[in-house]
């Protein structure tokens, strides 16, 4: 009995030793910044000296800052274009990839190239393509006699940025959905076919419900991305026109490092995190279904 106890202790020590690597890592890179963030939330600090306690001043300042809420609204506008389009696009990509017989890896990798390409590089590329005298506007003008102010109109600018981000992520999300599709047993479709189900019925009654975990995962990733978007508006529109593409991340970075107000930026970061977590929670609560494939 005592031998077994000793062995259990030994095992426990071993387990603790292995997991301590992660615990130390988390304490340094997650715990410490989290405590520091909490301190900044209630203080005034300008990179030097000790933070001065200011109570809830930073929080009330965020609540009454129209610029911050404008950036949050901009994120919702971005999501309004981004989420449905990227989801439909990625789903079509996944279905197409599932049907392809040859060259699957090549096609998947081609789509993933967009995802791994430099944000700065493709932002420059798209700003050329969509410029006022660029190829897209020239083609539109020749074919239909119209031009679109892609980045110069407050109504269009965020949509144009959403299009660029969709291009970047369609392959990545598509592969997640593709993995979900391949996990659906073929026998389910065969059984449905025997029962006389058509393509649409199969899609809506089998594919879509069984893809629920993958779709939720894509949604969570898309929401997280929307609240952290920075490179594309920073490089292409600089947050304009009329601040219509200014994102919370851009606002936080300029506030912390150019306005030298890191405590206020930290408070905004907490709000952004709460809003995005809130959204994810709502999505999971309302849309997530337990799927049993066996």
**Would you tell me which residues interact with other proteins (CB under 8 A)?**
46-48, 124, 127-128, 130-134, 137-138, 141, 147, 150-152, 237-243, 253-254, 256-260, 262
Q: What minimum distance in Å lies between the beta carbon of 133 and other proteins?
A: 5
φ, ψ for residue 142, nearest 5 deg: -70, -45
Any bridge partners for residue 53, and if so which? 43
Specify the residue, 156 or 271, whose C-beta has the smaller distance to other proteins: 156
CB 183 within 8 Å of CB 102: no
List, in order, residues 6 or more apart from 208 with CB less than 8 Å away. 215
CA geometry: angle at 253 spanning 250 and 254, to 5°?
Answer: 85
Specify the residue, 46 or 289, whose C-beta has the smaller distance to other proteins: 46
Q: What minimum distance in Å lies between the beta carbon of 154 and other proteins?
A: 8
Specify the residue, 98 or 153, whose C-beta has the smaller distance to other proteins: 153
Specify the residue, 111 or 151, whose C-beta has the smaller distance to other proteins: 151
Alpha-carbon span 195 to 151, nearest angstrom = 52
Positive or negative CA dihedral for 225, 167, 239, 83?
Answer: negative
Q: What minimum distance in Å lies between the beta carbon of 151 and other proteins?
A: 5
φ, ψ for residue 130, nearest 5 deg: -95, 10
Specify the residue, 70 or 202, whose C-beta has the smaller distance to other proteins: 70
Q: What minimum distance in Å lies between the beta carbon of 68 and other proteins?
A: 14
Q: What minimum distance in Å lies between the beta carbon of 197 and other proteins?
A: 50
């Amino acid at each position: 009995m005592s031998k077994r106890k000793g062995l259990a202790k030994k095992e426990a020590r071993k387990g603790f030793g292995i997991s301590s690597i992660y615990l130390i890592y988390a304490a340094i890179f997650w715990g410490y910044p989290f405590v520091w963030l909490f301190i900044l939330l209630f203080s005034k600090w300008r990179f030097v000296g000790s933070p001065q306690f200011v109570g809830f001043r930073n929080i009330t300042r965020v609540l009454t800052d129209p610029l911050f809420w404008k950036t949050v609204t901009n994120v919702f506008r971005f999501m309004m274009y981004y989420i449905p389009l990227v989801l439909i696009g990625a789903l079509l990509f996944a279905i197409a990839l599932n049907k392809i017989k040859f060259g699957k890896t090549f096609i998947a990798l081609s789509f993933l190239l967009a995802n791994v390409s430099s944000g700065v590089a493709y932002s420059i590329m798209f700003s050329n393509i969509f410029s006022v005298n660029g190829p897209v506007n020239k083609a539109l003008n020749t074919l239909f006699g119209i031009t679109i102010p892609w980045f110069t109109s407050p109504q269009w600018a965020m949509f144009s940025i959403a299009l660029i981000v969709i291009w970047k992520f369609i392959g990545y999300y598509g592969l997640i959905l593709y993995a979900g599709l391949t996990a659906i047993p073929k026998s389910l479709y065969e059984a449905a076919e025997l029962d006389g189900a058509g393509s649409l019925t199969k899609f809506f009654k089998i594919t879509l419900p069984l893809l629920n975990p993958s779709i939720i995962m894509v949604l969570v990733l898309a929401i997280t991305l929307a609240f952290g978007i920075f490179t594309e508006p920073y490089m292409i529109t600089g947050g304009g026109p009329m601040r219509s593409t200014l994102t919370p991340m851009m606002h936080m970075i300029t506030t912390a490092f150019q306005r030298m107000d890191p405590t206020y930026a930290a408070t905004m970061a907490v709000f952004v995190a709460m809003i995005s977590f809130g959204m994810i929670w709502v999505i999971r609560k309302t849309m997530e279904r337990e799927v049993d494939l066996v």
